[in-house]
Structures are given as structure tokens and as C-alpha cells.
Amino acid sequence: MSLLGEFALWIAFLIGIWGAAAGFTGGRTGRADLQRSSRNAVFALAITLLIAMFAVEWLLFARDFNVEYVAAETSRNLPTFYTWSALYAGQKGSLLFWATVLSIFGSLAMLLTAPRHRIYLPYVAGVVCVVAVFFLTVMLGAANPFARLPFTPPDGNGMNPQLQNPGMVFHPPMLYLGYISITIPFAFAVAALMSKRLDVDWLVAIRKWTILSWLFLSIGICLGMWWAYVELGWGGYWAWDPVENASFLPWLVMTAFLHSVMIQEKRGMLKKWNLGLILAAWVLSIFGTFITRSGVIQSVHSFTQSPVGSYFSVFLFVSIVLLTILYVTRLPLLKTEAYLESLVSREASFLFNNLMLVGIAVTVLTLTIFPILSELFTGNKIQMKPPAFNVVNVPLGLALLALTGIGPLIAWRRASIPNLKRQFAVPVAAGVAGALIILVLGMRQVWPIITIALACFVMGTVVQEFARGVRARHRQYGEMYPLAFFRLIARNRRRYGGYVVHTGMVMLFVAFTGMAFKIETEASLKPGESVSLRSPYGWTYTFKHLGVSQYDALNRQVTAGTVVVSRDGKTIGTMVPEKRQHVDSFGRPTFQPSTAVAIRSDLREDLYVVLGGVVGGTETAVYRFTINPLVWWVWYGGIVVAFGGVIVMWPGGTVGSNRVASGYTAKLAAENAVGAGE
């Protein structure tokens, strides 16, 4: 099976080279046979890579420990559930996963692209093949998932305990899907640049793809936060780790693009900027993979480090140079069709929104690579850790939150003073009311107060937009309010789906403030002893330690502490945090003992208990007890963001934007005809 897999990789490599050559030559010369061949090459690439992926899965399930990757990532007693995810738990498998999914996305682009946009497809096939060939080169050169050991160990090393979590089964593929799907809009952007067809057409062709990758990235990031929270045991969900940042960077840039592209579609402006954003998002997605894989920056994701970093750095450098040349040579073709008419307009607010999003991206990037920068300029490595990230990013994030509310309130082209007064009255009142209420309730911290006020302001905007839309439909069509509400969203999914996303973002921002009120304590308790903590809501939680039990599970030896929790004297449940020693099938320890956190959640706060260990081999256990307010709202916010993204992406419904886009295309066609006539 490993021979079949390796053979498939080599065939895919050759197909990729041919597909790239045929695609670019076919696109340039217009030869139909080459164009067809490049399209077929992408399909063939997908089939061969699927065979290779199937081969890896077969070897993993067969526990063929003579294969280095299988021995490194699995053991005989690894649960079946995680055997599947072992495919992307390690370096080599995840590279194969990347290349395979890319070829599948490429095939879907070949099949689903509307006939009027097929002119770009040869170049798209070429770009997809080039990127796939790069990943195949890395696999065949430095990270072959089919490489064999000179001996066959009796059992494998087993999967890293931190990866044996349901979150890790879904989080990495989601992020990978996000990273990988960016390659398709990127390929269309390169196609537009190479073919010099830089009107609005390529933007229409990539609309669904950009939202899809943004959606995958959003879900992947949220799942990553959830995994970090439930698995790592430090009591938080975001630590500005380089690998977290690497996923956040393309998300920020894609979010900026999703806003600014509306200006190009409606007004024919920002062509250079939008192209730049798509190219940057792709470069950042590769940079993200480079950060994850190279180990150039210290990260909790160190389990993925290997020597492939040099491959990525060369590819990144060559890509940036070639893309810059291509972009600069096409600048004369990227002239704006219109000029902004007023500083107080929707266009201007979107530009400021872009400024903040890209500003935060630059900030995060700078602080992430700060050890490298500081070493380069001063010879000393200066690490920027979460406190420094928060100091810099919190004001920028709040400015962005404010713009989330301001943007929809300002009219396109030019806003008048009476219009502004009418639009801003309710949201501003909501913001002020929100701030006053929490001041009266006793909150005195500045940043949380500002966050709550801005959150109320943005929600005021969203509610006002929905209310006006529903009222207008009710008046115009006589629809009942609930029906008008659903039809309002259905008829303009992009706009109202966007507001749903804004609502999710507000929920996330409010949830983040909860961390400012985190309460924690450490205690060693004998059986029967208890410790009390007072929550920010005024309740007193008492944690009573009952005892410690030990038992064997499938691939681990478990030491579990049992804690009875009561709130204001009333028992509310039992929590069982664990200490796990993972073992192979011979009972030999495979990793350092790890912790499995016990979490009890409700809408207001989470109780988070970690079992640190025991004192002197007795049942006296050392615990860390934490009360984390509002954490569930992070997950709900993520779900709402994803739901809004699905609404935006759902086919049909965007009558208005289609009309605008087609109107703009017609205008371009008319102008071209006049130009040709002259």
C-alpha cells in the first residue's frame, strides 16, 4: 500500500507539472487543446492524490508500524476515532491533506465556474497545479508520508494526548479548508492579472469562494479556541500564540476584502487594493503554514515542527517576488472608474474599516515576528507575549467594533447631516444606555465599559436596520412582520447575513470582556475538605474534594479527582478533572502525564477545575479552580458568525447586488464600446 501511495505521489507530481505548463501556455496562446488538458490535469491530480490519501489512511488503520508516519502518530490502542485524524495530526499527513483538498477545490472550480468566467480557468488550473506541485515537492523531498523505517517497532509512539480531543478532529481540517480554499480566489486573481481581464468579472467568479474560505477560517479559529480551552488547561482560549496568529492574519485580510469588494462592485473603485488583499491573504495563508511547520518562532504547536521550513521560506520568497512583479506590471490597467465623493460616505467608512482590519493584521504580524525583527536589528530576541499583544490590539479592536456600527449607518456616495442625525440617534442612545447601565451595576474597568457601550451601539445599528427593512416590507407588500423579516433576509442575504455576522462579532467582543473578571485559586485538599470562591455575580461556589480514584482506559491510565460543587450552599453537581498517563499497548508510558479539565458551563460563567496532581502519593489533591465569566458566549458568538456566513453564501437572493454588478458591467461595456468607437 505504501508503494501505491508513493507511486501516486510521483504521478501526481508529474501531472501537476504538466497541468501548470498546459494551463499557463493554453491561457496565453488560447489553444483549446491545452486548456482542456490543464482542466483534465486538475481532475487527474485530485484522483491520484485521493489514492495517496486513501493509502495513508489504510496504513494508519492497518497499524503498519514499518511506515515511519504510522509509527510516529498512532499506536495499537489508539481509538478508531483518532486514527482517522492521525492523517493530519502530523507534518507529513497534513501536507498530503493540503495538496489533496487543494486539488479537490481546483476540480470544483473547474466544474462549477459559470461559462462566462471560464476564460480564467486555464490560468486557475495552472496556479492550482503549481501550488500542488510545491506541496508534492515538500512531501517527496523532506516529508514523505510513505517513508519506511529500517525496522518494525512492536508498537507506535501514539498520538500526542493534546490531539486526542474531538475538537482536534474538526479544528485542523476546518482551518486547512480555510487556508486551502483561499488558493482558488487567489488563482482567479492571478488569472485576471495574467490575462489582463481586470474588470469586475473575476470578482463575481470568486465571490462564493471568498466567503467559503472566510467561513472555514472563522469556524476553524473558533474550534481552535474551543480546543485550547477544553484541552490545554490554562483556563483561556486565545493566547496570541504564533500559530493562532497565523490563522487570524488571513482571516483579517479576507474580512477586509469582503467589505472593500463591495465598493468595487458598486462603484468600480479600489481595484488595486482588492487585488492586493487577495494576493496578501494567500501569501499569509502560506506564511501561516510556514509558521506552523518551521518552528522559527516558539509556539505551543511545536508538535508539528520539522525541516520543511526551508522549503516554505523559498516558496514564500519566490511567490512574493513573482506576484509583486505581476502586480506592478498590471498597475496601469487597474485605474479607478470613479472617485469617492465625500469623506462622509459608506465608501469612506468601509475604507476606514479596511484600514483597521489591515492595521490589526500588520500589528499581529509585527508582534508575532518580533523576536526575528529584534534579533535582526539589535541582536537580542525580544518576545512579545499576550500582555503586549493586548496593550496594542485592544484599542484597535475597539475602533474596529465602532466602525462595525458606523458603516451601515452612512449612505453610499454622500451622507447629509439630517440623514446622519436620523441614522445615528437610536444606536448612539443604545450605546450610552448600555454604558450607564453597567456603570450603575458597579462596573468600573474602562475597557469593559467601552466594549459594552460599543456593543450596544452596534446592536442598535443592527436592530434599526432590520426594523426599518421589516417595516418597509410590511408597508410596501402588506406582509406580516415575521414573514417580512424572513423575506428581508432571503431577498438580500449578503446585506442581512452580514448584519448577522456583526451580531456574532458583538457577542464575541462582549464575551472577551468576561476574561477581565476571571477568578482563580489553587488549593490542596484532603478528602472532605473544601475551598470557596466568590464569582463576579456575587455567588459563592464551594468545591468539596471527595477523593481520588485510579483506573485504566483504552490507551491511558487515569487518575481522577472528584469534586462536589455547590452554589450558595446548594449542590449543583459533581466535577471530575483527570490526570492522564497515556500508554502504548504494552502499558509503557508514551508521553508526559497530561490534564483533562472538568468544565461546568452556563450562560453566565464557567467553572473550570484542573487536577494538578497529588501530595505524597495520597488522596490529597492539588487543584486549580477558575471561574471564567461569559465563556459560552464565545462559542455562541462563533456559531452566529458562522450562521451569518452561511446566509451570505447561500445561493440566490442577492437581487440588489447582482443588479448593481450587472449594471456596472453594462456600464463598462458601454464605455469600452465608446472607447473603441473613438
Partner 1 sequence: MSEPRGVSRRSFLAMSAGAVLLQTPSRPPVVPPSGADSLADGGAAGQLADPDRAGRPLEPVTARDNDAAIQAIEKRLQCTCGCGLDVYTCRTTDFSCTYSPGYHRQVLALAASGMTGDEIVAEFVKEHGESILMAPPRRGFALVGYYGPWTLVGLAAVGLVLLLRAWARRAAAVAVVESPASPAPTPAELELVRRELQHFES
Residue 306 φ/ψ, nearest 5 degrees: -170, 180
Nearer of residues 64 and 347 to partner 1, judged by Cβ: 347
Nearer of residues 341 and 568 to partner 1, judged by Cβ: 341
Nearer of residues 18 and 496 to partner 1, judged by Cβ: 496
Q: Which of 630, 647, 359 is nearest to 496 (CA)?
A: 647
Nearer of residues 20 and 563 to partner 1, judged by Cβ: 563
Nearer of residues 191 and 277 to partner 1, judged by Cβ: 277
Side-chain-facing half-sphere of 117: CA atoms under 13 Å:
23
Minimum distance from residue 299 beta carbon to partner 1 (Å)? 7
Nearer of residues 152 and 549 to partner 1, judged by Cβ: 549
Q: Which residue has the cell 457577542?
A: 507
Minimum distance from residue 609 beta carbon to partner 1 (Å)? 12
Rounded to whole angstroms, the Cα distance separating 521 from 626 reads: 7
Minimum distance from residue 434 beta carbon to partner 1 (Å)? 26
Four-CA torsion 531, 535, 538, 542, nearest 10 degrees? -20
Q: Which of 594, 534, 544, 591 is nearest to 572 (CA)?
A: 544
Rounded to whole angstroms, the Cα distance separating 379 from 373 reads: 9
Nearer of residues 151 and 339 to partner 1, judged by Cβ: 339
Minimum distance from residue 296 beta carbon to partner 1 (Å)? 14
Minimum distance from residue 524 beta carbon to partner 1 (Å)? 4
Nearer of residues 50 and 516 to partner 1, judged by Cβ: 516
Nearer of residues 343 and 436 to partner 1, judged by Cβ: 343
Cα 395 to the center of its chain, rounded Å: 22
Minimum distance from residue 146 beta carbon to partner 1 (Å)? 31
Rounded to whole angstroms, the Cα distance separating 488 from 469 reads: 7
Minimum distance from residue 511 beta carbon to partner 1 (Å)? 20
Nearer of residues 433 and 533 to partner 1, judged by Cβ: 533
Is the distance from CB of 644 to CB of 504 less than 8 angstroms?
A: yes
Is the distance from CB of 449 to CB of 376 less than 8 angstroms?
A: no
Q: Which of 461, 471, 454 is nearest to 423 (CA)?
A: 461
Minimum distance from residue 408 beta carbon to partner 1 (Å)? 11
Q: Which three cell numbers stand for residue 117?
A: 468566467
Rounded to whole angstroms, the Cα distance separating 232 from 251 reads: 23
Q: Which three cell numbers stand for residue 105?
A: 477545490
Is the distance from CB of 240 to CB of 227 less than 8 angstroms?
A: no
Nearer of residues 520 and 602 to partner 1, judged by Cβ: 520
82: left (phi over 0), alpha (psi -120 to 50) or beta: alpha
- Annotate 90-127 with b (16+ C-beta within 10 A) or e (fewer): bbbbbbbbbbbbbbbbbbbbbeebeeebebbbbbbbbb
Minimum distance from residue 13 beta carbon to partner 1 (Å)? 36
Torsional sign, CA 98, 99, 105, 109: positive
Minimum distance from residue 40 beta carbon to partner 1 (Å)? 44
Rounded to whole angstroms, the Cα distance separating 36 from 18 reads: 12
Side-chain-facing half-sphere of 98: CA atoms under 13 Å:
30
Minimum distance from residue 224 beta carbon to partner 1 (Å)? 15
